[in-house]
Structure 1
Amino acid sequence: MISFHPFGGAQEVGASCGILKLGMRHILVDAGMRPAARPGQSRTPDLEALKTFSLDAILITHAHIDHTGCLPLVASLFPTVPIYATESTIALMRILLLDSARIMEQEHLAHELETPLYDQAMVTETLARIIPVAFHQELRPVAANQEIAVTYLPAGHILGAGMLHITSPWGSVLHTGDISVGHHRTITGVDLNTLPQVDMMICEGTYGNRSHTSRKDQEQNVVATIQQVISQGGRVLIPAFAVGRAQELILILKAFRTSGVVSPVTIYVDGMCKAVCEAYQQQSHDLHPALQKFLTNSQRPLFVDPTFGVLAVHQGMRPRVIASDEPAIIISTSGMLTGGPAPLYATKLAQDKRNAIIFTGYQDEESPGAAMLKATQGGTITLNGQRVTLGCPVYRYGLSGHADLGQLEQVIRLVQPQQLVLVHGDRDALSHLAARFKKLAVAIPAAGDVVTLTRRAPTLSVQAGQRLDLHESTPAVVEPMAEPTPLKPAPTLADLYAIATANGIPARPWTAIELGAAWYGTAYQPTLRPLVEGVLSVARSHFRTKRLGSQTVFTPRPVLESGEPNVAAPPKPQPDDRWDVVPIGQIVLVLGSAAPPDRVQLGLITGEPTGSTVPLVVEAWKSASQVRDTIQGVTPMNRLEWVVLEHAEIQAQLKALRATVDAIPIDVLKLWQAQNGQPARLETLMATAPTLEEQVATGITLMRRGLLVWKRDGSRWIPKPFDSLNDQALITRHLELITQVGAVVTHTKDGRTGTLTGRGGWLQVEVRWDSGALELVKDGLVRIII
């Protein structure tokens, strides 16, 4: 027998949590929180009822806090139960749950509220227990019954979101979690052609009583409103959900700015959005194929991109962004103004009629966002604990990540369940959706109800307060499940090379995920990724390695007539980093035999390596080839058009490039502070710069001065602890000055005044003088006056 017992998320949006009972086995799906709990309402599902069950597994559909916010507490109640989620969901949960624990602790200390549900240590322990699962990879989550199989199907809602297709001897189930059918800019929607037909379907119904307007029209309406406000000298605040919505908005604005529709004002990204944007890019293999192609081809950030005017707001600069009156677009959490920096911005912006506040997502009836939408201009609202006069207009547009009424109906009719259970929506939305299915058994349970399916004659029995029988006899097995595919042994480097060059495949970059999936086939899962990456860690004999976007990629070397890779002898082991040779036309950093300072040169690779040497023109050296060991760093800058030039012409181009990059100020101390003690490769540190020229300048500056605050351990650059540095007082003063962007300063010798730009060099800050000139000035020669 199959039955479903919800403990939350039924006839409501929030605290999604329910048990699927398959025979005598119990699988918990999600463990969410009510992020906008009403006064007197618990933030958690019915945990007392949950404690009466013995769980076999916990499955997480996606990372949103209304589906995961209570997981650390639930995990502590069932310390030996395995937890499963997709790799991208785990990456997002790490951000959301740690932030949730931090906020609960702050609320407790500030307002002496109830004890936090969990702390950051519990979150860390829970995350360590979660087992990653790949999409379309069959999973056997119940150790005591291998006939229960689960497959995660892409749900299209946010990065990593999955529907659960469960098969068992007692019948099949599809639990949708939250789904989206339409393709979005960040991810693709549910593939309607691959939906299974099942006995029981547990389906979300958030928008079961309404239809979305055209996504294209909504995007254009949002942009038109923003442009109107900007053209009037106003500022726009978009409170956004950190996961999914913020990323969509950034891509929309970047697209319309590229086409010239949106003015090039600064787009500020604040709150948890920043960390989530990084996670999205790191999990690029789950993004929309168009974004994967963009990362591969452009080698630029997807979201926060200073050279495109999209800036991440750090805590030190937030007061200045709030206080500024310059036209700008601000995207900040939270989406319902329940927390995060968004209420701080709203308190200021709401009072000026030139500004606008735009909502693009679901608003709980009791949230400040809903109150603002109901208010009229000139009325008062409460924001961030203050009574504020609402002077600016407030708009609402639909950019939902949920399927609407028509899309939900389409999905349900394709699945053709014998039993339909509707959850995750208010009573009106779920009832409206249920009315579309006159001939189908539909249940709309509340928390504490039970929906039961019998295999042969499906019947609906929803009884308030009913408890599942833990001692029910196990039904007879209808037919045995097929044995899981045996796992192949770990690949060798030659195996992976053969995959990348099979059947005359043109040489192209491959990711570790692609190669692993090609080797293991349907048996591949994310837990095997570290093993494949371990094999590829010594890939230089068979592959060229390079960073593209957020991925390390592996391009197979040419194949000789013998079928062997055309490899050069590897360089001798050295105590410091030895870089692989990169494609012809790449700009590289080259060191002489003397000490690194003042001997860093720019070079251009002009041909394939021969033995231990590389054909290389260097800006100030005569030799047309260099020992491979002299190459200390590479940049993504490609100048293939220079390769055909004469040696002297290439040198002239390199010298001109050198003059350009030497004029770019690079703040080694700021970069050192940003690493927060974490080691990194030189190429990774260089990649933090927004432009190619700045990346080259960063590499040169680090080779010259970096060892003053870093130590090198082979390929790693490790920031030295502050207490081990010389001139600590000077460094402290510099790091304080560099954060004062826009502060008015005076020159202590000649009295000139200007403003700090936030950039600097070694113990120098960049000042834009009132005359308009930019100048690097020693820290001791400037004094802040405002």
Structure 2
Amino acid sequence: MIELECLTYGVGHADEGICLLLRAGPYRVLLDCGLADISPLLTKKKEPPADLVLCSHAHADHARGLLKLHQAYPKLPIYASEVTTQLLPFNWLTDTTKKKPAPFCQALPWRSPFEFFDGLTVQLYPAGHLPGAAAILITYTPPVADEPSRSYKILYTGDFFLSSTRMVEGFPLEELRGLQPDVLIVEGSYGTSRHPHRRQQENNLAERIKQAIAAHKSVLLPATPLGLGQELLFLLRSHHYFTGQNIDIWVDGQVAAGCDAYLDILPYLPTAVQNFASHQALFWDERVRPRVRRLPPEQRSQLGQHPCIVITDESTDLRQYYQAHPDRWLILLSQDPYLSSSKLRREITEDRPALPTINTYLLAQHCDGPGTTQLIHNLRPQHVVFIHGPSAYLADLTGLEELRNRYHLHSPNNSSRVELPIGETFLQPAAPETSYEGEITEVEDAVYITLPPIITTDPRWRILADTGVVEIHWQGEELVLRGVPQRDLLRQEGDRLLDWMDANSPLRNCCGNCFHYRGQRCWNPASPLYEFKVTPEGFCPAFESAPLPNQTDQDQQEPGKQHQDDR
């Protein structure tokens, strides 16, 4: 029986990055190095922590520690796909350091087995998600004397996406169907959540931006410098809502540098992108509408006078773009498992007398729950190791009965050892506790459901508490309670309730008569119900009377028309 195990230096909870050490027989293979601090990898004997390093793709949470690791161990071999080797230097370039470090990562071809050591081969497959992103298949065949005619396969997906995006083709599931690896190390960024079709996500985002521009608002899109930033820009360049429209798209910060990096790898991008680039500029174009330009630093404070679109780094201070005219801006934040939009909203709006409108959108770069389970069922592994996602989301995956009945599931924490016995009896660990016991109290005019306070320790409680709205329905003889997320509330619209006929009516100061009530939601930043779905008959201490119908100012008569994009 060979020694097969995984040591976790970083499993991708929060912003810690991914770094795994795989032991297969006598060999040690380091999978990614996304650690900001590589001290756990530094050995006292100054010997390399691994025999080989394989990088799945160029995102910082998978690659930012590679340069320090190379500097500590210059002879340690590091490999990745051809495109990833070209994008990796992007992680170490800053505004003050423009010089690229000397190349240290070697390229491997797609789909061609490469034998590094006696009995250890590596094969790369496109993983989707980002240009050059690779799923890594490691095959170890022990010497005949020790383990005759038996090979062990480990597939590490890195970040993967089954669907094709504008800039990247999806994971080639057909090529690996029925692989039956002994171990599958797979990401679970979105847990068991279910997403709309990718094209529907794009159309929903394009519609919201179109509505904002029509309402004479500018749109600010914070994004990751590599991947999402270029997806957004190419979507705006090619979507029928915007082609030929007199709109300025400004690109700033590292997102602009990422666009330049994509131009260097144009031959590796999808055929449709190459065909587009053969007829007009892929990114920078001041002649064809919509115009795409780099944003000079001195022009940041002048934005907002006319509707425009700005794509910039998600980590930058957004106030520099909207501070001159905050009420003329819509900020759209990408829905991220790690991002608390409420927290970011508080940071943006703190101590601001005038506020931009802030909403979220979904343009996923990872698989949802059905996509992840589809991959697992098609590969049919023996062990499944879940990484890269909030711990609660990964617990949801390990708790799925359809997976627990067929595979050995693991969801390790940092600094842990995962033993992966092959062919031996394996006791599946107990499913994580996901049910809670409460009480129901029935009074004359209401029914109260009381739950234990421990439920609030689950990170998902924030999502339910953000809206405070639930849907309850019967399912057979069971009563099912479901939290309503903000994206569902955004799809719902309602009419304003006006009750001007009786000045003494108890509904006089209700939400339906508030100036900030639009689309069945509260848009008053001073209200505790801000952005929540509210009933028109509700009441709030931050009530502001809507203008009377006989007022002459049209904008005051119909405040909802000022913010059509808020709906």
2:257 aligned partner: 275
1:729 aligned partner: none
* Separation in 1, partners of 2:162, 2:233: 21
Helix, strand or coil: the match of 2:101?
Answer: helix
Pair 1:429-2:405 in alignment: no
2:22 aligned partner: 20
1:181 aligned partner: 162
1:265 aligned partner: 247
* Separation in 2, partners of 1:438, 1:410: 14
**C-alpha spacing 1:445/1:274, structure 2 compared with 1 (3 Å):** same
Q: Structure 2 length normalisation: TM-score? A: 0.67
Deviation, 1:172, is 0.6
CA shift digits 1:151-205 (9 cap, x unpaired): 1110101111001011111511000100111111111111110123200010001
* Separation in 2, partners of 1:160, 1:46: 28
Helix, strand or coil: the match of 2:404?
Answer: coil
Helix, strand or coil: the match of 1:124?
Answer: coil
Instruction: Tell me the amino acid that sits aligned with residue 10 of structure 2.
Output: G
* Separation in 2, partners of 1:248, 1:23: 41
Return the match for 1:311 from 292, 297, 302: 292
Deviation, 1:80, is 0.8
Instruction: Tell me the amino acid that sits aligned with residue 16 of structure 1.
Output: I
Pair 1:345-2:321 in alignment: yes
* Separation in 2, partners of 1:401, 1:411: 16
**C-alpha spacing 1:262/1:405, structure 2 compared with 1 (3 Å):** farther
**C-alpha spacing 1:30/1:120, structure 2 compared with 1 (3 Å):** farther
Helix, strand or coil: the match of 2:309?
Answer: strand
**C-alpha spacing 1:318/1:83, structure 2 compared with 1 (3 Å):** farther
* Separation in 1, partners of 2:425, 2:87: 38
Question: Are the counterparts in 1 of residues 29 and 52 from structure 2 also a CA contact under 8 Å?
Answer: yes
Pair 1:134-2:121 in alignment: no
**C-alpha spacing 1:84/1:265, structure 2 compared with 1 (3 Å):** same
Deviation, 1:49, is 7.4
**C-alpha spacing 1:348/1:450, structure 2 compared with 1 (3 Å):** farther
2:171 aligned partner: 190
Deviation, 1:275, is 2.0
Instruction: Give the percent of matched residue pairs that are identical in Structure 1 and Structure 2.
Output: 26
Instruction: Tell me the amino acid that sits aligned with residue 53 of structure 2.
Output: I
Return the match for 2:53 from 58, 67, 72: 58
Deviation, 1:232, is 2.0
Pair 1:252-2:235 in alignment: yes
Deviation, 1:261, is 7.4
Pair 1:438-2:404 in alignment: yes
Helix, strand or coil: the match of 1:306?
Answer: coil
CA shift digits 1:348-398 (9 cap, x unpaired): 56x31x3200112426347xx55235x5xxxxx347xx7435622212111
Helix, strand or coil: the match of 1:137?
Answer: coil
1:703 aligned partner: none
* Separation in 2, partners of 1:20, 1:346: 47
Q: Gapped runs of 5+ residues in structure 1?
A: 35-42, 107-118, 376-380, 463-786
Return the match for 1:224 from 207, 211, 216: 207
Return the match for 2:133 from 157, 161, 168: 161
Deviation, 1:10, is 4.6
Helix, strand or coil: the match of 1:307?
Answer: coil
1:327 aligned partner: 307
1:97 aligned partner: 92
Question: Are the counterparts in 1 of residues 384 and 409 from structure 2 also a CA contact under 8 Å?
Answer: yes
**C-alpha spacing 1:15/1:120, structure 2 compared with 1 (3 Å):** farther
Helix, strand or coil: the match of 2:114?
Answer: coil
**C-alpha spacing 1:320/1:295, structure 2 compared with 1 (3 Å):** same
Aligned residue pair count: 411
1:146 aligned partner: 118
Helix, strand or coil: the match of 1:198?
Answer: coil
1:555-594 mapped onto 2 (5 Å cutoff): none
CA shift digits 1:305-347 (9 cap, x unpaired): 222243332545433554x51110011112xxx23x6453255
Instruction: Tell me the amino acid that sits aligned with residue 194 of structure 2.
Output: S
Helix, strand or coil: the match of 1:433?
Answer: helix
* Separation in 2, partners of 1:165, 1:79: 25
Question: Are the counterparts in 2 of residues 180 and 401 from structure 1 also a CA contact under 8 Å?
Answer: yes
* Separation in 2, partners of 1:26, 1:407: 30
**C-alpha spacing 1:231/1:45, structure 2 compared with 1 (3 Å):** farther
Pair 1:453-2:425 in alignment: no
2:432 aligned partner: none
1:291 aligned partner: 273
Helix, strand or coil: the match of 1:129?
Answer: coil
Deviation, 1:294, is 2.8
* Separation in 2, partners of 1:8, 1:246: 26
1:358 aligned partner: 332
Question: Are the counterparts in 1 of residues 301 and 322 from structure 2 also a CA contact under 8 Å?
Answer: no
**C-alpha spacing 1:361/1:69, structure 2 compared with 1 (3 Å):** farther
Question: Are the counterparts in 2 of residues 239 and 359 from structure 1 also a CA contact under 8 Å?
Answer: yes
1:62-141 mapped onto 2 (5 Å cutoff): 62-99=57-94, 124-125=101-102, 128-141=103-116
**C-alpha spacing 1:413/1:329, structure 2 compared with 1 (3 Å):** same
Question: Are the counterparts in 2 of residues 32 and 66 from structure 1 also a CA contact under 8 Å?
Answer: yes
Question: Are the counterparts in 2 of residues 419 and 460 from structure 1 also a CA contact under 8 Å?
Answer: no
Deviation, 1:458, is 6.6
Question: Are the counterparts in 2 of residues 135 and 152 from structure 1 also a CA contact under 8 Å?
Answer: yes
* Separation in 2, partners of 1:348, 1:14: 36
* Separation in 1, partners of 2:132, 2:217: 36
Query: Aligned-residue CA RMSD in angstroms?
Result: 2.7
